[in-house]
Amino acid sequence: MISYRHHIVSLVAVFLALAIGVALGGGPLSDLGRDDQSASATTKAHRATVRSASFGDEFAAASAAALYDGRLRGHPVSLVRMPGASGEVVSALGAEIEAAGGSIAGSYEVQPTLTDPAEKSLVDTLGSQLATQLGTGAVTADASTYVRLGQLVGLAVADTEQPSADAVSVRQSLAGADLLASPEGAVRAPVVLVVLGEPANPAILSGLLAGLAAKAVGVVAAGDTAASAGSGDLAALRSEPVADRVATVDGADTALGQVTTVLALIRSTSVQGGSFGASGADGAVPLK
């Protein structure tokens, strides 16, 4: 015979089971069905976001030829690769330049020594020696260390009035000091594309580009998406006076950014400066 005590224990067990069931039903188990729906909605939203992001690249690739309209024909480009710049990005930009009718006159590589603050004494001494060797007018007399070096790089890679023999001499000197690697038989060009890489000292980078812009018809600095954020190179350049003479383009690691870079090069044959790309102050794409 079931005692009263056993009956109470059984009822407590039943109520406890019911309480646990209600708690689970209103808690972690209550959203099982909704989680499936939420996951499905999240997946669809993610796919839509990815599709939206890739649409810009697809559009740029499909419309590039029409946008270029061969407007780089007759405008060779000197390509300057900063330390750490992606080889894949450099190759892609070269292909886009050719698609616009242009050509790469020479591809130069800035060595880490040039952008290393600890090597400023070397940069200053060599720059001073070369300026003296080239004579009056080749380099601004009161230029600071990196502006002067930028002007010398400009003489080496940009099509200026300076004799080609001087350009060869400067290239050899910069190569000997492990500051700039130059290709054999390089030809100078009026327009220069600088592909940014690892973060550089802002004063060094802005000085270098300011000097380069003083010698070239047009200079475009292109960086990846990260370079335009926060303390990135492009963000720093865009806050400096040099931005009035050097066009900047972000997103060079994407097809859209690469097409934008070439459009900026086309523009730079007649207009200096400008800030373009997703975070560009002058618009996403330079169409004029």
Domain architecture of the chain: domains with CATH:
72-276 (3.40.50)
Mean pLDDT (the chain) is 84
pTM greater than 0.85: no
Closest CA relative to residue 259, chosen from 218, 206, 220 = 220
Note the pLDDT of residue 52. 56
Length of the chain: 288
Note the pLDDT of residue 4. 37
For 96-123, what is each residue's pLDDT tens digit?
999 999 999 999 999 999 999 999 999 9
Residue 50 and residue 67: Cα distance in Å, rounded? 25
Q: How many CB atoms lie within 10 A of CB 34?
A: 9
Q: Which residue has the higher pLDDT, 117 or 23?
A: 117
141 has pLDDT over 60: yes
28 has pLDDT over 60: no
Note the pLDDT of residue 176. 96
Question: Cβ contacts of residue 178 below 8 Å, gap of 6+?
Answer: 111, 113
Please report where in the chains the tokens 């007018």 appear, as a residue. Answer: 137
Encoded tokens for 107: 């591809």
- Of the chain, the end-to-end C-alpha distance in Å amounts to 99
Contact status, residue 99 vs residue 68, Cβ threshold 8 Å: yes
pLDDT band, residue 15 (cuts 50/70/90): very low
Q: Which residue has the higher pLDDT, 124 or 163?
A: 124
Question: Cβ contacts of residue 44 below 8 Å, gap of 6+?
Answer: none
Closest CA relative to residue 179, chosen from 199, 208, 203, 216 = 208
**Angle between the 145-157 and 120-134 helix axes, to the nearest 10 degrees?**
60
